[in-house]
Chains A and B, each alone.
Chain A
């Protein structure tokens, strides 16, 4: 199961990256970026997965600490994913804001129209 998830994650990341690199429309590029980060997030979750594991919540009524270490899924990647999602959100929002401003400037969403800086 975790391999399926991880493969899906990688596939999504690569699809997203391909979209980011090949699309000419700025909005589509950003959608590509979103898919790319989503794929990476899925990979992260897959890394922490333990087959048949339980939620990493320790309380007095549950299993012993030693058993828990063996059977709970790793909580660290899950914590990381949350941070990563937040950052991805921030970056995507900023990109969209940029696209909005660029559109106001030149009335175009084609990335080829924004090559004033070069060489």
Chain B
């Protein structure tokens, strides 16, 4: 094997040698440089391989054969091999990426570049503190050289600030080193550790200076203005090297020297890391300049890894995996993002929509963003999950909370950026120039990121390679994205069908899971069938739709918390992309994502507390949580309620569901919302009525008000799809209220509502979505009289509305009957009245929707409309068949559910042999009601048919407005400002108070960030003063 010393020899030799080549040999020099970097990569790579397969042992290399303290020594162990390999890979890929630019600038730039990479190698390998200083300085000088690779006024300024800051920092380091030598008698890191300098005050100061300075090299918040300027102004290709390479080396050095300080220092480092992670991400929320934003994110992520290094004594065995997963994730994703930035060449993130011109680049961008926020299946997801679990198990819940806050802050700007990329206007003329040498490195880091996620599985309890099966299918769908939509639709349906068949045994025998599994999978397939009416390619639709369904399938089939969380996040990611496909969906998808991420973090904390109590990842840990049980159950409930859009957490829903594409609305409304319900039901069953007494009482009230406000807001809507969206909020309020009662009848009502809402909301959104597309408007007052054009649609909406309004004979009434019995038996009268009142309001909007679309006057521009496509009507009528079956034979479904519930709650409902449902209050027979009402309906209809022969038909233009045309014709439409009186009376209930509340919260956060970032005044001297203040404050806290 080639000795590690040859990494240095090769790099130094080449850097020297390149100077001899003339200007005419630039291309040749470039290839020589790349060959050198490849050689360095090869040497560290072969050591890494040897360590991994166990054929090598840690090597110590001494200068001139002396042992320390009389010589400088380098070490090559598995850690050093890993880190030098990472650095050399980023050097090689970065060299390929910057090839043309380096060639333009000349051989000197290549020399500097190779020296920089070499210095990072030595920083990792050296065990001598002074040698470390020398190579940190060489690295700084090389960095200062590379900053002006693009020689602009800004990069010159940034370079000088960088030199001033690192000059001060290294002076302090030198003082620390010389005193450490004085007290320890050695420059060797192990020698200094052995000397235990912390025992004396003077020695402690020396250690302080060394560690504090090495922390400063990692740009801790807020003493990091000089680092941000470098990220912003230098060539993004070089930004990638700093963010990935330099930071990796710096973190390793910190890890290496930290034992000098002992336990107390681990704690300081974790606190500094936390402040940096949260502070940097928070201030980043105000940032609009792409490269500077990446700088904030880089500093934040490095802060997170720093925190983990500081937590090493707490994390124990899990430390190595967590630290490495988070570091590798940052390393790959951030390099990729900087490289993409170098291709896009847009300063402001609002101009980044140019990225859409290349779908491969766009997908990789999305992957990097999701990896940074910690979504599955990327290594950060596994690392973060394990980190939170370990922290809570070791009684450090506050650290976990702070980490999640920082991570959320990062989500604020990353998803805003993503929204700009996906939705902003895109100019046609511009062409994206993507040279292959810039493209290949990005592809390689993307592939590595995915592979790293896959190889994270064995390190996390509960993780399973099986979770990657649907992801592979999604990848396949992505690869066939060039095919027409109907082919991909068929493939998707087939894939989902097969996957459902494969997973069914996992839920078989568990009725609750079976019901939700059926809603998710069967509902998913039906909503996909609707997609057959879409022409063209529908680029990017199928992978994300299937991602959502894969997540839902995972949630409902898994038996452990990790799997649940994996599925939850997968479902969130998929649904986000579905929602943002709508034309005006940018702000709505953004708020959906922020609520979802926050909710997911609450769930994660709750899982952490459950895990800390039960020491198992199995979902059974949710039963009898002993560590902070009230907090744990509340966190979980609120987390799930972000998905069910309960009052206070609902503001994302109307826009997200209302603006979505016509077949996406039923997916996210009828199907997706049930994920939150499933979570709540699971939680309540494990929690039990006794433990959750107060919580359940509050949630009952929340459910009641959600129902009221949702329905009321729905009745005031002029937009057909938004009305349906608000109606979902109301319906989910019923469900929350029903299951919060924790009685058999309440839960039966809850299940009935779940099934009904799935059936009728899917029908309504499918039909209305189809009509909206045909009519070309969302507004109810621009429609009317469509009954003759679309009779089948009318019938479908009518049936769905009867179900929704809870009128006999359809199953909505079953829900209502169960519900009132449950309310009375439970004794929640006041809440019951509110819900009852909400129910009557549901009539209003049901009528408004039906009337405005189908009855009244046909509009001129709708004269040529035809019935909506059969690909919509077929799934709709399948669902209607479901409603009729459920209405006529409710006992077939409800009796087994009731029996299942009898395991948890005392039984209060009996089923007689003739299908009569009996409680102590009343009885009801779905079958008989259906027969009676249908017979009456037929009789009345027949009678009407007989007598209508005599009536005179009123044609549309029999009406005139007294020979005048009204100024604004739509104001004369019946559904325009319908229910104005009601609005006047209790409309204040739906005043946008909650929206304003959240707007103020976000404004406060952004304003705070705006104030804090004034620290970065732009003056290099001020940054140097920050460094001095940082050192002083840090000293006072740690030693003084």
Contacts and interface: CB of A to CB of B under 8 A. Distances in A.
A106 B164 contact: no
B1018 A116 contact: yes
Nearest to A80: B130
Given A20-B168, A87-B137, A98-B159, A115 B1028 contact: no
B818 to A, nearest CB: 59
**Interface residues of B: mostly helix, strand, loop or mixed?**
helix
Contacts of B140: 91
Nearest to B175: A40
Interface residues on A, range: 35 or more
Contact of B1021 (A13, A36, A111, A116): A111
B1020 A114 contact: yes
B960 to A, nearest CB: 64
Given A17-B168, A43-B175, A91-B141, A117 B157 contact: yes
Contacts of B178: 43-44, 47, 77, 80
A102 B168 CA distance: 21
Given A21-B1024, A91-B163, A102-B156, 9 more contacts: A33-B164, A43-B175, A77-B181, A80-B130, A80-B178, A111-B1020, A112-B1019, A114-B1018, A117-B233
A100 to B, nearest CB: 10
A17 B164 CA distance: 11
Question: How many interface residues does chain B have, given as a range?
Answer: 35 or more
Most chain-B Cβ atoms within 10 A of its Cβ — which of A37, A91, A102? Answer: A91
Given A33-B167, A90-B141, A101-B156, A21 B174 contact: no
A7 to B, nearest CB: 14
Given A20-B1024, A84-B174, A114 B160 contact: yes
Contacts of A40: 171, 174-175
Contacts of B233: 117
Contacts of B229: 117
Contact of B1019 (A47, A77, A115): A115
B1019 A95 contact: no
A84 B131 CA distance: 11
14 contacts: A13-B171, A17-B1028, A20-B167, A20-B1021, A26-B160, A33-B164, A33-B167, A36-B168, A40-B174, A98-B144, A98-B163, A116-B154, A117-B157, A119-B286
Interface in B125-174: 130, 134, 137, 140-141, 144-145, 148, 151, 153-154, 156-160, 163-164, 167-168, 170-171, 174
Given A80-B178, A115-B1019, A119-B1014, A91 B159 contact: no
Contacts, number: 116
A79 B1016 CA distance: 39
Contacts of B134: 83, 87
B179 interface: yes
Contacts of A117: 154, 157-158, 228-229, 232-233, 1018
A54 interface: no
Nearest to B1012: A119
Interface in B979-1009: none
B164 A29 contact: yes
A63 interface: no
A51 interface: no
Ranked nearest first, the 4 interchain pairs of A and B with the lowest CB-CB distance are A118-B1018, A115-B1018, A117-B229, A114-B157
A105 interface: yes
Contacts of B141: 87, 90-91, 94
Nearest to A41: B174
Interface string B828-850: 00000000000000000000000
Contacts of B228: 117
Count chain A CB atoms within 10 A of each CB in B178, B229, B287, B1019 and give the residue with the most: B178
A83 B228 CA distance: 30
B299 interface: no
B171 A37 contact: yes
A40 B177 CA distance: 11
A94 B1028 contact: no
Interface string B998-1040: 0000000000000001101111110011001000000000000
Contacts of B170: 87, 91
A99 interface: yes
A87 B151 CA distance: 24
B182 A21 contact: no
B605 interface: no
B187 interface: yes
B182 A47 contact: yes
Most buried by B among A17, A83, A116, A118: A118
A94 B144 contact: yes
A76 interface: yes
A99 to B, nearest CB: 7
A98 B255 CA distance: 34
Contacts of A94: 141, 144-145, 163
Contacts of B167: 20, 33, 36-37, 91, 95
A11 to B, nearest CB: 14
B156 A105 contact: yes
B78 to A, nearest CB: 30
A102 B134 CA distance: 27
A87 B134 CA distance: 8
Contact of B1028 (A21, A80, A101): A21
A20 B164 contact: yes
A91 B179 contact: no
A95 B1016 contact: no
Contact of B174 (A44, A98, A111): A44
B1007 to A, nearest CB: 14
A77 B130 CA distance: 10
Contact of B181 (A20, A47, A105, A111): A47
Nearest to B151: A101
Interface in B220-240: 225, 228-229, 232-233
B179 A95 contact: no
Nearest to A95: B163
Nearest to A83: B134
A88 B19 CA distance: 23
A98 B1028 CA distance: 23
Contacts of A26: 160
Interface in B386-424: none
Q: Which among A17, A114, A115, A117 has the greatest number of chain B C-beta atoms within 10 A?
A: A117
B396 to A, nearest CB: 33
A47 to B, nearest CB: 5
A41 to B, nearest CB: 8
Contact of B160 (A21, A84, A102, A118): A102
A26 B1021 CA distance: 10
Contact of B1016 (A84, A106, A118): A118
A114 B882 CA distance: 71
Contacts of B286: 119
* Listed residue (A29, A94, A98) with the most chain B CB atoms within 10 angstroms of its CB: A98
Contacts of B168: 17, 20, 36
A97 to B, nearest CB: 9
Contacts of B159: 98
Contacts of A77: 178, 181
A118 to B, nearest CB: 3
A95 B160 contact: yes
Contacts of B154: 116-117
Contacts of B182: 47
Interface in A1-59: 13, 17, 20-22, 26, 29, 33, 36-37, 40, 43-44, 47
Most chain B CB inside 10 Å of its own CB: which residue of A17, A21, A83, A119: A119
A88 B160 CA distance: 15
A115 B160 CA distance: 11
A44 B182 CA distance: 10
B1018 A36 contact: no
Interface in B252-304: 286-287
A36 B168 CA distance: 8
A116 B1024 CA distance: 17
A106 B174 CA distance: 34
Contacts of A80: 130, 177-178
